[in-house]
A and B are shown apart, each in its own frame.
Chain A
Amino acid sequence: MAGSTLEIKNLHVSIEGNEILKGVDLTIKGGEFHAIMGPNGTGKSTLASAIMGHPKFEITEGSVLLDGEDVLEMDVDERARAGLFLAMQYPSEISGVTTSDFLRSSINARREEGDEIPLMKFIKEMDEALDYLEIDKNMAQRYLNEGFSGGEKKRNEILQLMLLKPEIAILDEIDSGLDIDALKVVSKGINKLRDENFGCLIITHYQRLLNYITPDAVHVMMQGRVVKSGGPELAQRLEAEGYDWIKEELGIEDETVGQEA
């Protein structure tokens, strides 16, 4: 089988003592694109952050495996080098570190010492990706995310995705704050990576993104769990009808985390 497999089993996650994820099960294989939708505050970003190893979240139960390897035992940088990538909903700003230096360090982190990417090759690859995503070349020399507009930050996340070529990527609201042209460009970048070796988990609120990037599966999160899964038609129904019908179907009154079903 091509590509990697990410298995999330019965994942429970707490922050500062409050349980936010209450048993998430999800498997993403190379070649598959999954979408996660769900109202605000239902645990979508928490799931993404917990998989990547955000320092604030505590895993209280369950497991995350990448090709059978225990991801939760790995440090954040090891997870990335094992093939995971998270495009963050709110990327940090890092003053004094240029986007270009950061990208080069990230690429070299995956390579052996002494086998660093030659500077010219790096510049060529970066320039190609910048062009592909229609990003102003000056951005590479600006400090990482510092003073970037919302849309620029999102494009920068996709720029990193394209250059780092992970096995499994999680994209947390990569479409929020994008104008319609930017949405197309970003989708183009993601679709370029689409092949049997690349798996992707796309967190979004809008069907719009999924018009450009057709998912193989759509999952709905409420109260810290995946409460419904289906095909692309599920996203279309949510867009048209909202979430009330699911809540009714499942007898949920308040969908946010902390409210019991």
Chain B
Amino acid sequence: MTVETKLPYDKDYINQFSGDHQEPEWMKELRLQALEQVDKLELPKPDKTKIGKWNFSRFKHTAQGEKISSLTELPPEINDFLDKDNLPENIIIQRNHSVAYAAISQELKDKGVIFTDIFTAIKEHSDLVQRYYMKDAVSIDEHRLTALHAALMNGGVFVYVPKNVEIEDPLQVIFWQEDPEVALFNHVLVVADENSSVTYVENYISHNNEEETVANVVTEVIAQNNARISFGAVDNFASGTTAYNNRRGVAYRDATIDWALGQMNDGNTVSENVTHLIGDNSISNAKTVSVGRGNQSQNFTANIVHFGKNSEGYILQHGVMKDKATSIFNGVGKIEHGASKSNAEQESRVLMLSEKARGDANPILLIDEDDVTAGHAASVGRVDPLQLYYLMSRGITQKEAERLVIHGFLAPVVNQLPIESVKEQLTQVIERKVY
């Protein structure tokens, strides 16, 4: 680490921070060990995007947030996130690093479902969290950012669905970086035990266009045998936030993990979504939409790694690039030796709206097994003038015609989001970013 990026967070600080949160010894140790590794590890090296000069060091580590007394009186910044006609029963709103609002239905509590902020989880369900926290999905020592994350983790949630419990209503979480300079080192851990199912949807939001900060988010999603997890997200950090967002899934036998991710940050972003299909017959659908604008540089990876036999992985990435935005879309399907009868499919499509924008789609198939099927398709193109002509020939203005084509282009993922209000909100974000 060079001098100018030296962080003011040392052992004493971590000790103090961990102590303030009454963390168990294992967590404090994990943080301290991670801190020791930070200096030894390099930044990650996303393909074709240079992140060496991005801000990963200027931020404020903690900030509190005020409570929200009722879901009917939300601050205007996050008012749109909820379905007003159908207020969620299960929701956590994290404001900076405080839980501003949290609710879980009695029914889910009775069934043993855990849906709580990460600090409470570490205290109250220490063994359970310890069993999964940065073990099977993301490792502390992958690179400097994972180590930093482990050392400085300052927010997040824990979801645990016990065996045979099927949750119908989605669990929703809003992570609101209200303080323009505060960093979210958020850790989300979702564990669905055998034969269970859950739908989880999260939103990240901030409004800091002038002030700089960092979001370093690690999300671990574990689907035990025959569990089903549907994971939706809309990331919407403002341009001042440099984001590293690592969402990783591990699916065991007969398990399914589906992702629908709206990657709508306005700042520089590395977003990687990796799913390990460990068990036989496991399945993952990874669908992402992204919009790039202004001068932002983004690197998106969707990667499914097949270990189990007869496992299926489908990746669909759609991106729209305008202004001078640059984005790299890596779609990776990897089939390990022994994962026979597996199928890896991927499709990456990038729509360019300006001459100065840059978009690259890199489809990669890495296959170490003979008895498999795999396919990929990738394209980078512009809005088809004949489509515009057709729409305009019915009286629709060029602007509206473009809007229809762009929404249509992003629809396969937007429609996949499991909560109506989140879908609408993603549509609004797209609207705002594209026009």
Contact = CB atoms under 8 A, between A and B. Distances in A.
A239 interface: no
Interface in A31-81: 52-55, 75-77, 79-81
A250 interface: no
A110 B393 CA distance: 12
Interface residues of B, number: 24
A223 interface: no
Nearest to B412: A96
A92 B396 contact: no
A26 interface: no
A227 interface: no
Interface stretch (A99-107, A185-193, A252-260): A99-107
B394 A94 contact: no
B396 A96 contact: no
A95 interface: yes
Contacts of A96: 407-412
B414 to A, nearest CB: 9
Interface residues of A, number: 28
B384 A80 contact: no
A92 B387 contact: yes
Instruction: Give the 8 A-B residue pairs with the shortest CB-CB distance, closest first.
Output: A96-B408, A96-B411, A109-B395, A80-B395, A106-B394, A97-B408, A76-B392, A92-B390
Given A80-B394, A96-B409, A96-B412, A105 B389 contact: no
Contact of A81 (B395, B404, B408): B395
B389 A94 contact: no
Contacts of A52: 389, 393
B392 A94 contact: no
B397 interface: yes
B391 interface: yes
A85 B394 CA distance: 7
A220 interface: no
Grouping DSSP codes into helix (H, G, I), strand (E, B) and loop, the B interface class, with mixed when no group exceeds half, is: helix
Given A77-B395, A94-B391, A97-B408, 17 more contacts: A55-B386, A76-B393, A79-B393, A80-B394, A85-B394, A86-B393, A94-B387, A94-B405, A96-B407, A96-B409, A101-B404, A105-B391, A106-B394, A109-B395, A109-B396, A160-B394, A164-B394
Interface of B: 384-387, 389-398, 400-401, 404-405, 407-412
A141 B393 CA distance: 21
B384 A77 contact: no
A2 B392 CA distance: 27
A97 B393 contact: no
A88 interface: yes
B430 to A, nearest CB: 12
Contact of B397 (A53, A77, A85): A77
B271 to A, nearest CB: 22
Contact of B394 (A54, A109, A143): A109
Given A54-B389, A55-B389, A94-B387, A106 B396 contact: yes
A143 B408 contact: yes
Given A77-B396, A80-B394, A95 B408 contact: yes
Most chain A CB within 10 A, of B384, B386, B405, is at: B386
Indicate the member of B384, B391, B393 with the most A CB atoms within 10 Å: B393
